[in-house]
Amino acid sequence: MQKLQSTIEDIKKHPLTNAYIKGSDKSLDVLGYTEHGIRHATIVSQNASKIISKLGYDSRLVELAEIAGYLHDIGNVVNRKGHSISGALLAVEILKDLKFPENEIASIIRAIGNHDEEEGGEPVSNIAAAIILADKADIHRSRVRNSNMITFDIHDRVNYAATYSSVDADADSKIIFLNLTIDTQVSQIMEYFEIFLSRMMICRKAAVFLNCKFEILVNDIRLL
Ligand SMILES: [Fe+2]
Ligand SMILES: [Fe+2]
């Protein structure tokens, strides 16, 4: 009997996946970054697969986007610098162990290796584009670890101010939209743009790769 295709559940159950995500989050905690653990992996995974699915791609591509999203930040277990590339290489071992076919391994690692624009990442494939959008959309209060607001840096402030964030796609109008609710008592919308401008540029590029326009709604006001 032919073996069934490996799934996101197999990835989540693999001991290396868990160890790498938890190790990444521990290092980034030491370095003062926001939460990058199972929560972030799950949200990026769900949002990337939602984008691919809503745009009408086939179910296996949806599954591969879900997998790439879940694994996208595991390279932080090695070092923050170059984490997209180290993450792609670490993912190979897990994917080979789970008997993924070579072409699927290639699709997944292209996306992981291209998810970070500061490390030269570009939307080089549909999955890569979806991961970029899903990753950048995960801005939320719950990611801030620093409990002392007085010592918040701009990243803490902007994340803490976001009480709601979601990303969605509409196949008919060909629009991918980011919807945010920002508590302006914590951070002004301008401050949000100050640190997110480069991220929004890569989001727009990723949306264009998926033949869509990119829109941002902040507090129900369309900003882009
Ligand atoms: Fe990353
Ligand atoms: Fe990420």
Q: Domain residue spans in the chain? A: 8-222
pLDDT of amino acid 61: 98
Higher pLDDT, 66 or 148: 66
Higher pLDDT, 12 or 196: 12
Q: Is the pLDDT of residue 129 over 80?
A: yes
> From CA 8, how far away is CA 94, in angstroms rounded?
12
**Cβ-Cβ contacts under 8 Å for 30 (sequence gap 6 or more):** none
pLDDT of amino acid 140: 79
Q: What is the mean pLDDT of the chain?
A: 92
> From CA 192, how far away is CA 213, in angstroms rounded?
21
- The whole model's pTM is what? 0.93
Place of tokens 């969605």: 168
Residues 144-167, mean pLDDT to the nearest whole number: 83
Q: Which two tokens stand for residue 131?
A: 């991961």
Q: What's the 80 CA to ligand 1 centre distance in angstroms? A: 8
> From CA 220, how far away is CA 214, in angstroms rounded?
15
Amino acid identity for residue 161 in this structure: A
- Residue pair 55/210 in contact (Cβ under 8 Å)? The answer is yes
Report which DSSP code applies to 210: T
Q: Is the pLDDT of residue 33 over 70?
A: yes
Q: What's the 115 CA to ligand 1 centre distance in angstroms? A: 6
Q: Which ligand is nearest to the CA of 40?
A: 2
Q: What's the 172 CA to ligand 1 centre distance in angstroms? A: 30
3-state secondary structure of 168: strand
User: Considering the domain 8-222, what is its CATH architecture?
Assistant: Orthogonal Bundle (1.10)
**Cβ-Cβ contacts under 8 Å for 207 (sequence gap 6 or more):** 129, 133, 176, 213, 214
pLDDT of amino acid 220: 87
Q: What's the 135 CA to ligand 2 centre distance in angstroms? A: 5
Q: What's the 187 CA to ligand 2 centre distance in angstroms? A: 22
Q: What's the 170 CA to ligand 1 centre distance in angstroms? A: 26
Give the full edge-to-edge strand order of the sheet including 213-218.
162-170, 175-182, 213-218, 221-222
Report which DSSP code applies to 125: S
Q: Which ligand is nearest to the CA of 138?
A: 2
Q: How many CB atoms lie within 10 A of CB 222?
A: 9
Q: Which ligand is nearest to the CA of 85?
A: 1
Q: What's the 105 CA to ligand 1 centre distance in angstroms? A: 19
Q: Which ligand is nearest to the CA of 76?
A: 1
3-state secondary structure of 95: helix
Higher pLDDT, 50 or 187: 50
Q: What's the 72 CA to ligand 2 centre distance in angstroms? A: 6
Q: Burial, 43: exposed, middle or buried (Cβ in 10 Å; 0-12, 13-18, 19+)?
A: buried
pLDDT of amino acid 3: 61
Each residue's pLDDT tens digit, 161-173: 888 899 999 999 9
Q: What's the 2 CA to ligand 2 centre distance in angstroms? A: 35
3-state secondary structure of 33: coil
Residues 18-27, mean pLDDT to the nearest whole number: 98
Residues 24-38, mean pLDDT to the nearest whole number: 93
Q: What's the 111 CA to ligand 1 centre distance in angstroms? A: 11
